[in-house]
Structure 1
């Protein structure tokens, strides 16, 4: 049984069938590393999966699949620092699934960033014992993790043996469909007991050659004082540490503290990982002191990332859980790391820890709360700009072609074969043709600047990336003389189900409406950017890039003549030829299958092909309404010569919603957003679905492999950008709330142009309060009203104000 209330997530009772899901949702992390919420005594088996991952740490392995040589780069599962076994007298090692439990409770304290496990059991002799364990990944000291185990013999006395080790015999085996492929990414270089209570394991990634060092320190206490005990060294290959033999007296608890340090060869300001790990370990205070500093850092984070819902405690708690896991994956500790936004967080091995387009949904939540973290994630893309340029050049194009899946160095890491678990077939994978990932990078650059006014980033790195992305789409566009239009051929849209035309020999579809329109958006902004850049920087960039007047003029022509497909009745087509596809028998499909989210797999297993049908995995055309205002989209299409009326939006939404299987957790996020204004009740349903995505594991087992970080951050974005109507453009903070009154009061903190703001929507009124400071006043608009907000000031607007 699970519950979400206030500032905690709680699980009552031991449930082997859901243990891996709990382990994911009880992950503790700090933006540098994260450790799954597995029981300390557990090993990787059918029930449990321990895992520790460092942001941006990858290794590649090669396999032969169906006669094809396949290389897969994966985020690496590191040696298990949690590994801690318990045994009483000469009995068996403790296993929660093999004893008579009198109570079992796990609580994830979101305010403090601490996972608590509290259990009691009765052994064969009738003795009762209670065990309480607390753990955290230190939010201030990002290289530190700690586990505290308190054992109380309630009605007996005897000897406790606590086995505290670093287990270096780990591999990547957390995703069933990957298990036929290589998962051994580490080579153990050193496993050593260093002294009484301390041990070290050094490993190195097999292909990427990154050295990792982890050290542990274990000590026992009673009544706050160190407890003398017997330390028995454990040195079993790559598993090293100690067994502590401790006297237990009825009614007197014993506490054991295990402190761990973790460094890699990619870390700055160290001589070597092993020396750093052992030096830090020798200088760290005990568990309670470390916890105090850790809790203080979390409190400061929450002050900057506050979200309160007045009318729905469970929704507020789940939103905090989403924000909590976002901050455990990307936090101030991420700044300066060479790490992006892994689609499944640092919580598991699905998607191999790769970076997709998820920052499109993640960065809005960060840019308006922790802008320096957002900038660091954009810098991850900038460091891979050369790789994107080389990819474009290899394709015979200009500019920068960012990969659909990115990892260590920015080359394309998308798999070319994937396993359909429904049929057991290995199938070709053409999702690497999702060129729109570059559009997401450009969109985030623009939105980051609008929210922060960070001219230094915009002028240096942001403008260079933006222009190179524009150059790529400018060169990808082919002129069709018959249509007198430019076209983007051979791509895959956000939908992902449609990767080729029915019976076509080559993958790719033409003129994905989302990709074509957003390419026009980027090209228009690129031309504006060139005008806004300081003259010296503009000259430097155009000379360095070889960007001439003729190429920029071609961009202008494309923004007037890009082809956008429409049905005969005026409906925006998802791509050219979409109208000719078959309608799917949705009712028949649902009658045969209780869950049709991944209907591409279902149809392939039945000998059919999803490419034949008007069926989408997630929002595609509707992404235009998610990213662009109605007036902005009308302006883009009007410039192209298409007389499109925003009044058609509800019809477009209904058309594609009826043909979507929601095979991605992002689908609920986007649909909640686009329905927020016209269909508020439906929007709420999708908003609740977005909240449930991971806590209820709506995709039936996928959360056990890692959280869906974009859906978690996206639920916050829906709340802020769609229901609260927050937009940042043209040096103005816009509020256009459509907040459902049934959800009560909404209050959240945000940052805009260095102002710390508090936004409250309640009683048909919006209030924006600014913290004190020496910043220039900002302008705030709410529908037709406008006000200037100085530091320390407050402005208020009625939510029913007439639009201008």
Structure 2
């Protein structure tokens, strides 16, 4: 790209390019792919002129509303990226004018979006339009946009329209039309600043915008203007520069009385700093973030760049210093699933934050803790004790799963996940354990973690029924991750997760009664927990039914699964993904052994010490042949387990499918937002799969299995307040444990345990 902004761009291995004008079919996909953000706000990668067919989307973490909708949804708030140029009656628009040259570049390392487009109007006049914008990672309330406009052939008269567009709406869905969630409550100007405040209809959240637009000819000093629509003339070869700096605040954490004053104050500060200083601070913030999160691969630059794309989107999804928000299934990049939070967060996204930004991981778990009371109400309403987290969660913590949705074949079906997919209870508990095991954050456990573990265990103790004849506990009418089979008895995933949850809660109770007895008693009093109840958890945990097939020597996914019609997948598409056999209809899936996504295989991944290599291979081999991967959650998990059991070729193919889920729109719905679970699953497939990293016997363990053409892979993880720099090769592991203290770190490498001294690079080798 030969652009005035080229000097700001990173090397090619950090750049995602849109090399041509996206046709209407690709327009909304690219808007998701090129999303900018910082954890507080997400802004879809729209064209500034808002062409026909575009879906402007600006989403603020935690801002939900229900006006005109069946359930609360993430609000599409007013769009600050609205800048239009009209040249003598013709709008500069990528869908209306001829486009002679066009390119947009997302710089993953700096979080900036750069554009260069050459337009030609009906009079054959050419115009060069260049822009760069970003939402600051340093100050997450600040956004900046700079535009250069040049008339290449002759003088022209132009009209400039700069706006914060409050007419945006949320997309319609089943039984609903488009919805507008905000109304303007204040518009004013102060000095060179303009101010607008809107309020959501039902939640009454205020969103305040303050902006400043400066205009300059050439590269001279910009002059602020209050005008939002103004006329200008431009000579042939002359360049105009427009610089827009804006701030966004909400009343979620600022009182309505103070929000205007704070917004104006900080906008003045930002305007005084100017574009270059704000960009520099943003760049430095990104440098620090990448220092902890980057993955280097020698031998495959394309995969390295695609991995960075996935990591970039996780960086702009995680909010700092906010214990009241989580991450939705489509991040802050679109309205898929209405911005709701699923089990995806704890099982797929959380590990990335645990090992790169544990403070954000803690925030995500605090989001669940702060909604324990609504979860208790859900459990009580269904006749259970303890806490039952909603299958879909928004701001309140109450159940917001919509009653209807489109099935894979396009038909409208009734949704039952909120009534039966109770495994989310244990999934959240697993997230608590995972975070604590990697961080040893005792303060978190005493404040929140123990209460979550105890209340989730209490739920399972009330959810089981005792079979006197078989002397086992059963969980009936539940649903595992495989949603093709909706209400089953004794789902292996549900039962094993429940058993683990009960056992782990008992273990925590015993441990903290010895080490932090005062705090444990305080938690116990708060929730009326007795030692007798805890003792019962252990008894139940050891007797929950899990069915093993003696003939096939596998775990049966649920009671009666192996009696269903057995169909082996034999056809695959261009991505090597399974094709549904022609003689099977979507509505008949429950009558077959076909599986939607990782279910039993998910257990093989979550509990590597629970299954022998032989058991894992038998179960993986059986279920992979029957899994359709009709969820973005599936390929990454099968990739990891496939690598572990020796199915490396397929493991790599599944990794690539997950890796390129959004870059190549493999699920055909990236237009609705980036697939959050795919982002986190891809990271895990790389670090846990190829890097072979797991927690084994309470220590970091590595059994690398690099693809044959990868020479080495380097990454960092945070482990109990230490930074581990890891470099894996085919026959060696290089480890540096950075710590402010003196000491050693135990590391397991395949079957041997090594004592690694702090702050010293150690290389461990092995024979092939």
Give the structure-1-normalised TM-score. Answer: 0.89
In structure 2, the CA distance between the partners of 1:598 and 1:178, relative to structure 1 (3 Å rule), is farther
1:231 CA displacement: 5.9
Equivalent of 2:658 in 679, 690, 699: 690
Whether 1:375 aligns to 2:362 is yes
Match in the other structure for 2:760 = 793
What secondary structure is seen at the aligned counterpart in 2 of 1:609?
helix
Shift of 1:351: 0.4
1:535 aligns with 2:517: yes
Q: Residue by residue, what CA displacement relative to the aligned partner does 1:673-709 show, whole Å, maximum 9, x if unpaired?
A: 1101211111111111111111111112x11101111
2:67, 2:134 → 1: CA distance? 31
1:516 is paired with a residue whose SS is helix
What SS does structure 2 have at the residue aligned with 1:96? coil
Report what 1:614 is aligned to: 593
Q: Counterpart of 1:9 in 2: which secondary structure?
A: strand
Q: Which consecutive aligned stretches of 4+ in structure 1 deviate over 6 angstroms post-superposition?
A: 594-602
Corresponding residue number in structure 1 for 2:343 = 357
C-alpha separation between the residues in 1 aligned to 2:371 and 2:743? 35
1:735 shift after superposition = 1.6
Q: Tell whether the 8 Å contact from 1:416 to 1:430 is kept in structure 2 after alignment.
A: no
Answer whether contact 1:229 1:246 (CA < 8 A) is retained. no
Q: Does 1:341 align with 2:327?
A: yes
Match of 1:21 among 25, 29, 35: 29
Residue 711 to residue 259, structure 1, CA distance change in 2 (3 Å):
same
1:558 aligned to 2:540? yes
Q: 2:17 aligns with which of 3, 10, 18?
A: 10
User: How far does residue 420 in structure 1 lie from its aligned partner after superposition?
Assistant: 4.0
Partner Cα separation in structure 1 for residue 685 and residue 93 of structure 2: 42
Q: How many residues align?
A: 748
Inter-partner Cα distance in structure 1 for 2:289 and 2:658: 24
CA deviation vs aligned residue, 1:511-561 (integer Å, no higher than 9, x gap): 110110111111111111011111112222223222223322221222221
Check if 1:513 corresponds to 2:492: yes
58, 63, 77: which one aligns with 2:64:
58
Partner residue, 1:638: none
**Is 1:169 aligned to 2:167, yes or no?**
yes
Unaligned runs of 5+ in 1: 64-70, 233-241, 500-507, 635-644
Alignment partner of 1:186 out of 182, 187, 190: 182
Q: d(CA) in 2 for partners of 1:102 and 1:760?
A: 46
Distance 2:230 2:696 in 1: 61
Q: Which residue of 2 aligns with 1:732?
A: 699
CA–CA separation in structure 2 for the residues paired with 1:598 and 1:214: 49
Quote the Cα distance in structure 2 between the aligned partners of 1:349 and 1:113.
Answer: 21
2-structure distance, mates of 1:431, 1:383: 20
**Residue 661 of structure 2 aligns to a residue in which SS?**
helix
Q: 1:318 to 1:270 in 2, by over 3 A?
A: farther
Write out aligned runs for 1:116-155 (5 A).
116-155=114-153
Kindly indicate whether the alpha-carbon contact (under 8 Å) linking 1:447 and 1:728 is maintained by their aligned counterparts in 2: no
1:38 paired with 2:46, answer: yes
Pair 1:85-2:73 in alignment? no
Whole-angstrom distance in 1 between the partners of 2:223 and 2:521: 71
Contact residue 85 and residue 164 of structure 1 kept, 8 A: yes
Q: What is the alpha-carbon distance in structure 1 between the residues aligned to residue 731 and residue 715 of structure 2?
A: 16
In structure 2, what is the equivalent of residue 200 of structure 1?
Answer: 195
- Paired residue secondary structure (1:656): helix
Q: Is the 2:334–2:672 contact (alpha carbons within 8 Å) kept by the matching residues of 1?
A: yes
Structure 2 Cα separation of the partners of residues 457 and 315 of structure 1: 36
Separation of aligned partners in 2, 1:230 and 1:57 = 31
Where do 1:299-314 residues align within 5 Å?
299-314=287-302
Q: What's the RMSD between the two structures over aligned residues?
A: 2.5
Larger deviation, residues 264-273 vs 211-220: 264-273
Cα offset, 1:775, TM superposition = 6.2
From 610, 616, 637, the counterpart of 1:633: 610
2:386 paired with 1:390: no
The answer to whether the aligner puts 1:317 opposite 2:321 as a matched pair is: no
Residues 513 and 418 (structure 1 numbering): CA distance in 2 closer, same or farther, change over 3 Å? same
SS in 1 for 2:266: helix
Residue aligned with 1:81, SS = strand
Question: Does structure 2 retain, via aligned residues, the 8 Å contact 1:129–1:154?
Answer: yes
The aligned counterpart of 1:295 is 283
Question: What does the per-residue CA deviation read over 1:632-662, in whole Å, with 9 as the maximum and x for residues that have no partner?
Answer: 324xxxxxxxxxx641322221221121111
Q: Partner of 1:20: helix, strand, or coil?
A: helix
Whether the aligned pair in 2 keeps the contact of 1:600 and 1:610 (CA below 8 Å) is no
Is 1:770 aligned to residue 765 of structure 2?
no
What CA deviation, in whole Å up to 9, does each residue of 1:330-377 have, x standing for no partner? 1xx432251112111000000000000112111111111111110111
Residues 210-219 or 106-115, more deviating: 210-219
After TM superposition, the structure 1 stretch with the greater mean CA deviation from structure 2, 9-18 or 152-161, is 152-161
Determine the C-alpha separation between the residues in 2 that align with 1:341 and 1:597: 31
Structure 2, unmatched stretches of 5+, are 2-10
Please say if residues 404 and 431 of structure 1, whose CA atoms lie closer than 8 Å, have aligned partners that are also in contact. Answer: yes
What SS does structure 1 have at the residue aligned with 2:127? strand
Does the 8 Å contact 1:422/1:602 carry over to 2?
no
Residues 1:794 and 1:731: Cα distance change in structure 2 (over 3 Å): farther
In structure 2, relative to structure 1, the CA distance for the partners of 1:586 and 1:792 (3 Å cut) is: closer
With over 3 angstroms needed to count, the CA separation of the structure-2 counterparts of 1:157 and 1:182, relative to structure 1, is closer
**Counterpart for residue 105 of structure 1:** 103
Q: Distance in 1 between matches of 2:407 and 2:90?
A: 41
Distance 1:426 1:653, change over 3 A: closer
Conserved? CA contact 1:102–1:119, under 8 Å: yes
Q: State the secondary structure of the residue aligned to 1:690.
A: helix
SS in 1 for 2:402: coil
Q: Measure, in 2, the Cα distance between the counterparts of 1:464 and 1:598.
A: 44
Offset at residue 221 of structure 1 (A)? 2.0
Q: Cα deviations across residues 554-606 of structure 1 (Å, max 9, x unaligned)?
A: 2122222111123352321111121222234856x989xx99779999935xx
Question: How far apart are the structure 1 equivalents of 2:342 and 2:580?
Answer: 19
C-alpha displacement at 1:225, in angstroms? 2.9
The Cα of 1:72 is off from its aligned counterpart by 1.2
- Contact 1:785–1:797 (CA under 8 A) maintained in structure 2: no
Shift of 1:665: 1.1
Cα offset for 1:15? 1.9
In the alignment, the residues of structure 2 paired with residue 472 and residue 215 of structure 1 have an alpha-carbon distance, to the nearest angstrom, of 47
3-state secondary structure, aligned to 1:283: helix
- Output the CA distance in 2 between the equivalents of 1:325 and 1:739: 24
User: How far 1:799 moved relative to its partner?
Assistant: 4.6
SS at match of 1:781: strand
Measure, in 1, the Cα distance between the counterparts of 2:266 and 2:742. 39
In structure 2, how many angstroms separate the alpha carbons of the residues matched to 1:316 and 1:410? Answer: 37
Alignment match of 2:621 (pick from 654, 658, 661):
654
**Taking structure 1 as reference, are residues 5 and 712 closer, same or farther at Cα in structure 2, changes over 3 Å only?**
farther
By how many angstroms is 1:286 displaced?
A: 1.8
Distance of 1:228 and 1:568 partners within structure 2: 80
In the other structure, the counterpart of 1:502 is none
- C-alpha displacement at 1:219, in angstroms? 1.0
1:362-397 deviation digits (Å, cap 9, x = unpaired): 111111111111011111011011111222222222
**TM-superposed deviation, 1:61:** 3.8
Change (3 A) 1:451 1:231: closer
Task: Select 2:560's aligned residue among 557, 573, 577.
Answer: 577
Residue 7 of structure 2 corresponds to: none
- Aligned equivalents of 2:500 and 2:766: distance in 1? 30
Describe the superposition over 1:31-88 as per-residue Cα deviations: whole angstroms up to 9, x where unpaired.
Answer: 0001000001115x5x31010000111112456xxxxxxx311000001111110112
Deviation of residue 721 (structure 1)? 1.5
| Alignment partner of 1:448 out of 409, 432, 435 | 435
CA contact 2:577–2:629 (8 Å) conserved in 1: no
Q: Secondary structure at the match of 2:549?
A: coil
C-alpha change, 1:224 and 1:271, in structure 2 (3 Å) is farther
Work out which of the residue numbers 541, 545, 550 in structure 1 matches 2:527: 545
TM-score, normalised via structure 2 length: 0.93
